[in-house]
Structure 1
């Protein structure tokens, strides 16, 4: 019982705080595409936002150090022939971002620290392998240059963006994939799908290793993420269209560890998870609140902490890696409290792509939060094309911009 009290008291004073007006970004025309992605992504250096654009797809990259009204001449990142649907910053290089689009491609971009005035239109590599729009892009958490994409062709492809190669392709999903989430060391990922199944996939064995039919009874879209200890946290809807969250052990999928009804709002709840503290933040499009919970080892397992409320409804959300947090701004005392700020994932990859592909797994390399954010040295991502004559041909090509431009849309 005492342990339960300690757990409740540890994070009960966590609270949300909106920044001052002068710290906002103004005049950003957020994309109106109705896709259940978060529309923005943030890392310790930049904020990226998918924006309206004519004649293709574009997103905006803004330095976190420069806020206020958007300069109308601020350059866009352009290059996609259709609307951009998802973006994700590389966890191992703060200047590398991946995007995917209705034009059936994914692209990887090198963002300079100083943006200049000209649009960025040349990606480092164009990844072509999907036959329909690509709606999900997510980096491997611990292996360098490994990127996963999922499209409306119900296909999941895992790429080595350093060579432009498609390494793994999985077609186990009979319907639209709603979301994909890696586990902590990147050995597995979970998916939710329009067929109402929650799946756990082993990409290197190219198979589904566990699945659960309808973890939530409603037919509205679900979301699922891995927790630190390998359980699955899900959000969905009841048969009566109430929003619901669940916690599941994928080795015993028959019964949930916890199932909790929330409210009757109709926005899909997007979960953002902090593995260092085992806290999960729930955000919904159209909501004006963010709820947070602690996942515990004893009942009630998913423990409500608090709610942050804002005046404006949310259209998109981004979750910055905690290595970019300035702890001193969040501290009441002068002492660094390492129990509230445990070591967090740093920018160094734990594995090379070849090691991961051969079956090695490593947890993230951690760093202390004591000294706040220290920018790592800027590293350029170089794409080394392999000689296709020296290896077995891949099913579809992935062409970097180094090739003649007419061959790359």
Structure 2
């Protein structure tokens, strides 16, 4: 009598669990913008969530340790004049966050280690190059200060945020870009587009090196991500609107490595990839479940593992880098599920009896040090991420000041007028100098009194609004 052989895998019994209520984040007004973004970004220090705000776009940044109820008057990051559509933490500095918006700009922010005490409205650098809303933003995985943006003008722009300058602009897409994913060393990126094509682009050659028409036959949005070994994992819809996932070799795009139908639902499947475990977590917009799969070299190549289900549907999702998981509890992933008014962390663990560090679960993972400088990458150099060991747990670094060194266009021109800032006060008459200093003191006093008045009014308003709740 023949027995079926069970596939051996250390991830066959991954166990998902929502953390206790007090470890979640409550009273967050999650954005209601109709854009297929995750609305959430997380790293070992901070949780960032795009929120509803009047008079422009804003997002909330909380230290991970600041769980519980979020104060209604908690300061926001609010420099955009239009709704924020996407945010992404820098992989090489846990205090640097990039955002993009309907106001056609992208901005880079430096977040202080402590909680914000007042609204943050001054970005480190503003990136202006798109003519329509910017919906996708993603950092280069290995090169310092390289940032990619994609807008509804169908342009892909790659920036050096250290100088605030665009390095590369690509206009190969004839329609709206749905998603972009870098490969492991950042030499290529793949895109999905409204024209139903999956493209692999070499940004430094400014060329599309491979493309596939309709990897999924449905017309609804697709998503694509590079895997560690250079294949591409996609999610999309069949002609009959069933959700579908696929695995493709970009050097042989004619046939898929694997193609699997899932279910019938309208929600776009957002894939989150764990390169260390070679696992993919699928989170559908509006779903109340998270499916996870393992990708291997053996048929059927994409292996269904399990589903984590909860009662409430998710508005978005954040995925913690491997550096931020708790190795003492055999936690291999942590997802941050956004609901209408709160954010729930979900831990994925592999149950083990031993309390010792599990080497097989935690191979060396991508660390925070960039592998190369922007100039090296632009000149054709490629490097894999610099790996770090998680033995003993990862310790986050303190904040480092992010500096932008912009070229001064005035350096190449002769100046014909003296700047006010370079005025020689030694040659001023004493009466005029005294009058200027007096006016300066009066202005400072006026500003301070107005700030105090605004603060008093804000306190009265908060008391009034709390009283009417």
Shorter-chain TM-score category? over 0.9
Q: What RMSD in Å do the two structures reach over aligned CA positions?
A: 1.4
How many Å separate the matches in 1 of 2:205 and 2:136?
21
- 2:308 is the counterpart of 1:308: yes
1:205-241, Cα deviation, whole Å (9 max, x unpaired):
0000000000000000000000011000000000000
Determine the C-alpha separation between the residues in 2 that align with 1:51 and 1:117.
18
The whole-number CA distance in structure 2 between the counterparts of 1:13 and 1:336 is 18
Query: CA offsets per residue over residues 332-382 of structure 1, 9 Å max, x none?
Result: 421211111111110000010010000000000111111112012321110
Deviation at 1:7? 6.1
Question: Shift of the alpha carbon at 1:388?
Answer: 3.9
Deviations 1:238-270 (A, max 9, x none): 000000000000000000000000000110000
Deviates more, 1:325-334 or 1:215-224: 325-334
1:356 aligns to 2:363 (yes or no): no
Q: Whole-Å Cα distance in 2 between the matches of residues 321 and 165 of structure 1?
A: 28
Aligned to 1:134: 134
TM-score between both structures, scaled by the size of structure 1: 0.93
Find the residue that maps to 1:385 and give its secondary structure: coil
Q: Distance in 2 between matches of 1:208 and 1:26?
A: 44
> SS of 1:240's equivalent?
coil
User: Offset of 1:5 from its aligned partner?
Assistant: 7.0
Q: Does 1:24 align with 2:24?
A: yes
2:52 maps to 1:52: yes
1:69 deviates by 0.5
Q: What is aligned with 2:81?
A: 81
Q: 1:114: how far off?
A: 1.4
Cα contact 1:41–1:319 (8 A) shared by 2: yes
Whether the 8 Å CA contact 1:225–1:233 is kept in 2: the answer is: yes
Note closer, same or farther for the CA distance 1:44–1:35 as it changes in structure 2 (3 Å cut).
same
- Provide the residue aligned with 1:401 in structure 2: none
Does structure 2 conserve the Cα–Cα contact (< 8 Å) formed by 1:73 and 1:117?
Answer: no
Q: How does 1:9-408 map to 2 (within 5 A)?
A: 9-330=9-330, 332-388=353-409
- TM-score, normalising length from structure 2? 0.81
> Are 2:112 and 2:399, in contact at CA under 8 Å, matched by a contact in 1?
no
Structure 2: unaligned runs, 5 residues or longer: 331-351, 413-469
Instruction: Tell me the distance in 2 between the aligned counterparts of 1:238 and 1:6.
Output: 30
Structure 1 residues 259, 313: CA separation in 2 closer, same or farther (over 3 Å shift)? same
For structure 1, list consecutive stretches of 5 or more residues without a partner in the other structure: 392-409
More helix by share: 2
